[in-house]
Amino acid sequence: MTAIKPSLTEEAVIVAHRPDRSSGFAARLFALERRSMKNAIKACFALRRDRVLALFILAGFLSFLHFWGGSQPWPMTAGGGGGVACLLGFGIERFLDGRLAFHETDGLLPVAALRRQERRQYKMAWHLVGFGVAAFMMLVLRAALLPVIVPGYVAGALCGQVTLHVVRSIAPVRAAAVRRRVLIWPRRWLAGLGAAVVLAPVLLLVARLPDQTARLWLAGIGAAVIGLALTGIDHAVVRFMAGAGHAPWHVIRHHVRGLVAFCVPAALVAFLAIGPAGGGVLLAVSGGSLFLVSLNILVALLYAKQAASLVIMLTLAMIVVIANMLPIVLPLFLIMLIWQLVRRAAARTWIVA
Amino acid sequence: MTPVVSLRGVRVAHQGRTVVHAVDLDIQRGSWFGLVGANGSGKTSLLKALAGRLPFSGGACLIGGEDMIADRAGRAEQFGFAPPADRLPDSLRASEMLAFVGGHLDRVRRNLGPLRQALGVDPLLDQWIGNCSAGMKQRLAIAAAFAGGQKLVILDEPFNWLDPVAIFDLRLALRQMVDDGLTLITALHDLHALVVACDDGLILANGKKRIDLSHGMLRDAAVAPSLFEKEMIDILRAGAAE
């Protein structure tokens, strides 16, 4: 017998909210977010070819993780695994705090976000999801790493909580204003020049090291840290600019002023202090940051905020897979990716919904 | 008659700055209270604090005779509140969102009463919120305020983004619900809506109460709306100049 499929409206009645499921995993707030995320994922992979591509990327990434993990010495994979778990715990804790702050003031279920017990349940549920993801990745990487990720994840989450308390106790009412400034910062030429000035003495110190490989690594890490600080985007600003008629390239140009102002003088200092290889590393790392911010902007133009994060993660995973399996086609892939995203994002210009 | 909402000397601070200063007001059960003020006069902050969305930094907030100044969750439970339309979750369908707020879509339909027709909710139910226009999102945000079935509802500028027909229908439906016992508090920019729809009101300027608008004043204003409008504009200008 063929089952009668309920209409979307009826389905919403049945599935969206079950009145008795108001504790633990089924807390209303968690259920709301979970549904929202599930819908965003479904929308991202609405086409069969998108789902197949995502599965291919995931399978490739996991195989890479597995074979790479197997070939590395245990201390290195343990350190890497613990570090990833720590970062995940930290990131999820900070993310959840931001979500709860949103629900308190502008969300649909403020009561749940304001009640201590519901908050705790909501956080715990998402942390279990986050920990599950970390555990799965470690199982693929090397099953013996599982004991390492528990303290790593917990330490990261605790660290996230402590930093939030510290920030609030130092600047209890200025946090939002500080966040806005931090997001505006990368868009200024002066910020890029300032970042280059900060990096210059570091490069001069690094240049004194005897080992050229160490010099290049440290110069690259320094540039990556500063480059990442200059890649922050404000999702709302990006969407607003597109809605107001700015073409994707214009939105990107608006956001990368700081990065451009940083990379030229920083590469020059690295060239003079470390040599041509140093300059090359700086330019390569800055180019990577430039690609990352462009990718962030283009994806933000095409997807809602939650879905955008997921698409970025998957795209980066795909880049890692291709870089390891077929490095020769990576530049072509990156060009095609950006070209395709720009074409799709351009169609969104002027849409003020 | 004992007011259902009574504020005494309430203050609201936003990012370290006091934006609402020692406001007193009383709202009667089963009435429509209109809050009028210039942009940045503190209307939204006051309404958000009343609905538990922001903390009060001082004063007394009596709801049904109980002081709930320190109980944000309790206040949020008492009031239906329309979230900002542009912050509704894009990845939900309208039916899902309303079901989450109201517990069940059938219950939401009952709670909406005449608003279901006035807001044109049914054709929106299967729509993704992310695909809705600003006006459609505004309708859904208003519906969300009523979905939980509270008898106290706060709407912040509910007529924004709506077309003239929707404004008219919404105003009539809200009036009908107020006559049936709803207590409605709205921030408004439209003095005409204040005069024709509200029972009482208040003018805020720079976070301070400028003038109480009694039932009698609003009824007189309905007879001579142009004169009332000029008086109110003068008051708002004077408040802004302070």
pLDDT at A210: 85
**Helix residue spans in A25-115 (DSSP H):** 28-44, 48-71, 74-106, 110-114
Number of Cβ pairs < 8 A linking chain A and chain B: 106
Q: Please name which of A31, A92, A168, A29 lies closest in space to residue B76, comparing C-alpha atoms.
A: A29
Q: Report the Cα A59 to chain-centroid distance in Å.
A: 20
B91–A40 CB contact, under 8 Å: yes
Give the residue, A181 or B233, on which the prediction is more confident.
Answer: B233
Contacts of A37 in chain B (CB under 8 A): 91
Phi-psi region of B157 (alpha: psi -120 to 50; beta: other; left: phi over 0): left
Q: Report the Cα B92 to chain-centroid distance in Å.
A: 24
Contact B63, B136 (CB under 8 A): no
Give the residue, A293 or A168, on which the prediction is more confident.
Answer: A293
Q: Report which residue type is found at B131.
A: N
Among A7, A108, A304, the residue with its CB nearest the CB of B100 is A108
pLDDT-derived band of residue A5, with 50, 70 and 90 as boundaries? Answer: very low
Contact A33, A124 (CB under 8 A): no
Å between B109 CA and nearest CA of chain A? 11
Q: Report which residue type is found at A314.
A: L
- Candidates A13, A117, A168, A180: best to mutate against B (most CBs of B within 10 A) is A13
Give the residue, A311 or B68, on which the prediction is more confident.
Answer: B68
Contacts of A352 in chain B (CB under 8 A): 134
User: Which chain B residues have any C-beta within 8 angstroms of a chain A C-beta?
Assistant: 13, 15-16, 48, 51-54, 72-73, 76-77, 81, 83-84, 87-93, 95-97, 99-101, 103-106, 125-126, 128, 130-134, 144
Which range, A36-45, A111-120, B46-55, B83-92, has the best average confidence (pLDDT)?
B46-55
Q: Which residue of B has its CA nearest to A118?
A: B73
Q: Report which residue type is found at A279.
A: G
pLDDT-derived band of residue A170, with 50, 70 and 90 as boundaries? Answer: low
pLDDT value at B83 more than 80: yes
Each residue of B112-158: pLDDT tens digit?
Answer: 999 999 999 999 999 999 889 999 999 999 999 999 999 999 999 99
Å between B231 CA and nearest CA of chain A? 34
Q: Which of A111-115, A170-174, B75-79, B144-148 is the least confident region?
A: A170-174
pLDDT at A191: 84
pLDDT at A225: 85
Among A17, A307, A352, the residue with its CB nearest the CB of B104 is A17
Place of tokens 């599982």: A146
Each residue of A33-66: pLDDT tens digit?
Answer: 889 888 888 887 888 887 888 888 788 888 888 8
Each residue of A240-257: pLDDT tens digit?
Answer: 888 788 888 889 988 888
Locate the domains of chain A by residue range. Answer: 22-170, 180-353
Q: Which of A99-103, A139-143, A275-279, A348-352 is the least confident region?
A: A348-352
pLDDT value at A13 more than 50: no
pLDDT at B115: 96
ipTM of the complex: 0.92
Each residue of A142-165: pLDDT tens digit?
Answer: 888 888 888 999 999 999 888 888
Task: Indicate the fold that domain B30-45+78-241 takes in CATH.
Answer: Rossmann fold (3.40.50)
pLDDT at A2: 39
B88–A107 CB contact, under 8 Å: no
Among A12, A37, A110, the residue with its CB nearest the CB of B93 is A12
pLDDT at A60: 81
Å between B190 CA and nearest CA of chain A? 24
Locate the domains of chain B by residue range. Answer: 30-45+78-241
Q: Which residues have CB under 8 Å from B223's CB, separation 6+?
A: none
Q: State the Cα–Cα distance between residues B94 and B124, nearest whole angstrom.
A: 6
For chain B, what is the mean pLDDT?
92
Among A9, A304, A353, the residue with its CB nearest the CB of B133 is A353
pLDDT-derived band of residue B107, with 50, 70 and 90 as boundaries? Answer: very high
